[in-house]
Structure 1
Amino acid sequence: MSSGTRPAGSGRLVTGVAWAVLLSGLWLWGREATDGPGGSSAPTTGDIAAVGRPLGVALPPARDPLPPLEPRRVDIPSLGIGAPVVARGLDDTGAIDPPPFEMPHTVGWYGSGTRPGSVGAALLVGHVDTETRPAVFYGLSAARPGVKVRVTRTDGSVAEFTVDDVQVFPREGFDAAKVYGARDPHRAELRLITCGGTFDRAAGAYTANVVVSAYLTGTAGR
């Protein structure tokens, strides 16, 4: 993923603007899912894909959903990503709070949503960089279909997810339903989300979001 060339000291402002777009979309999507007629529908793969699943290739094999437990850690060994996970709620504007800037190597889980391993799409968000260095999800865009994502839960069990695709969604015309909505109503899914694209100097924000989608395919004992 490219963070573009940014003026010195602009990191927090840029990241804040990008999160405002991304997470306000989450809030609006949540309202549509609960207030709209018939609830949310299962969206299809996004229109702009960085690494989509080839035609005719099946989804990762299904695994029965797990009891609903909160996440404590996420690891993607092949990408060198490993970080604690903290629950995040909504701020005064109705958008979810990302991890504080003082915690650049911590991943935020949308605590009012699906727990990783349960039916639905669990949402994990992380910063791509700070004012001076890469942050927890800087290498997320290097994920490819088949990559394993391990989420350690409160009882010590590990829910293992397999990446299905990696998509890049432009900031303009952001489709919250496609990013946050479950694709299969019977499966446990995972979304890992960060900023991406290039830095738009005029807008003071990144131009896109990187979204990695994965399915529960295994577990490890306590």
Structure 2
Amino acid sequence: MATTSGHGRLVTGVAWALLLLGLWLWGREATEGPGGSSAPTHGDIAAVGRPLGVALPPAHAPLTRAAEPRRVEIPSLGIAAPVVARGLDADGAIDPPPFEMPQTVGWFGPGTQPGADGAALLVGHVDTETRPAVFYGLSAARPGEKVRVTRTDGTVAEFTIDDVQVLPRTAFDPSRAYGQHHPHRAELRLITCGGTFDRAAGTYSANVVVSAYLTGAA
């Protein structure tokens, strides 16, 4: 995700309209900016979906104690970043971490907490005008790799990646990207911009969506 010249903040590559209390979380892509780096394209090639033959562990029961995320780590990608809660801005889009915090991950606070029943949403910038950001290498994630989320209650929720997709903006299916894949399971979505950057349109062509599910807690 990248800034537009003259704008005071970095605009997120993905945003959600809030439909709670029996409704659904529906997504919409709202990236703007000059695209400081074109390298997400090469990373997108690595996105592998859910390949056959990858042994995945059984799901852990959802955690019942409420706790917000404070830190996320993906050891295989060298990602270790603080997490801050974000809501919706005046346009109904998720308000990302400020431009001055490109190495910080935003959690959609009105939604599911990581480790709870449902799909928790974490969004990070892929780049700035000058350098890679926190989720620059996200599309290189592989099924079977671990994501660890440290929570405010002191627990570390461990998730196992089971799906990596690059979803084009055209014919975008928000339920596929952000909805819970299996009932009564604690799931996680890590989301950033992907595809190629169209300078004329001011948008990236796709979203990278990494899906994971809870497999342990300590």
* TM-score of the alignment, normalized to the shorter chain, above 0.5: yes
| Pair 163,133 (structure 1): closer, same or farther in 2 beyond 3 Å | same
- What fraction of aligned residue pairs are identical, expressed as a percent? 73
Call closer, same or farther: CA 1:56–1:86 in 2, change over 3 Å.
same
Alignment of 1:161-176 (within 5 A): 161-176=159-174
Counterpart of 1:104 in structure 2 is 102
Decide whether aligned partners of structure 1 residues 33 and 144 sit closer, same or farther in structure 2, where only a CA change above 3 A counts: farther
Query: Residue 49 of structure 2 corresponds to which residue in structure 1?
Result: 52
Aligned partner of 2:177 in structure 1 is 179
Aligned length: 194
Change in CA separation of 1:17 and 1:115 when aligned onto 2, cut-off 3 Å? closer
Normalized against structure 1, the TM-score is what? 0.80
Unaligned runs of 5+ in 1: 4-10, 41-48
| Paired position in structure 1 for 2:19 | 31
Partner deviation per Cα, 1:37-81 (whole Å, 9 max, x = no partner): xx68xxxxxxxx931223576754110111221000000111000
Q: Alpha-carbon deviation of 1:96?
A: 1.2
Alignment correspondent of 1:130: 128
Q: Is the 8 A contact 1:68 1:116 kept in 2?
A: no
Task: Tell me, in whole angstroms, the C-alpha distance in 1 between the residues paired with 2:108 and 2:81.
Answer: 16
Cα RMSD, aligned residues only: 2.3
Corresponding letter in the other structure for 2:166: V
CA contact (8 A) 2:12 2:96 kept: no
Match of 2:62 among 61, 65, 89: 65
Letter in 1 for 2:58: P
Query: Structure 1: which amino acid aligns with 2:217?
Result: T
Instruction: Judge conservation of contact 2:84–2:107 (CA < 8 Å) in 1.
Output: yes
Contact in 2 for aligned 1:62/1:217 (Cα 8 Å):
yes
Structure 1 match to 2:76: 78
Aligned to 2:190: 192
**Relative to 1, partners in 2 of residues 1:110 and 1:17: Cα closer, same or farther, differing over 3 Å?**
closer
Q: Where do 5+ consecutive residues of structure 2 fail to align?
A: 26-45
Q: Secondary structure at the match of 2:62?
A: coil
SS in 1 for 2:19: helix
Task: Provide TM-score, normalisation by structure 2.
Answer: 0.81
Shift of 1:196: 0.6
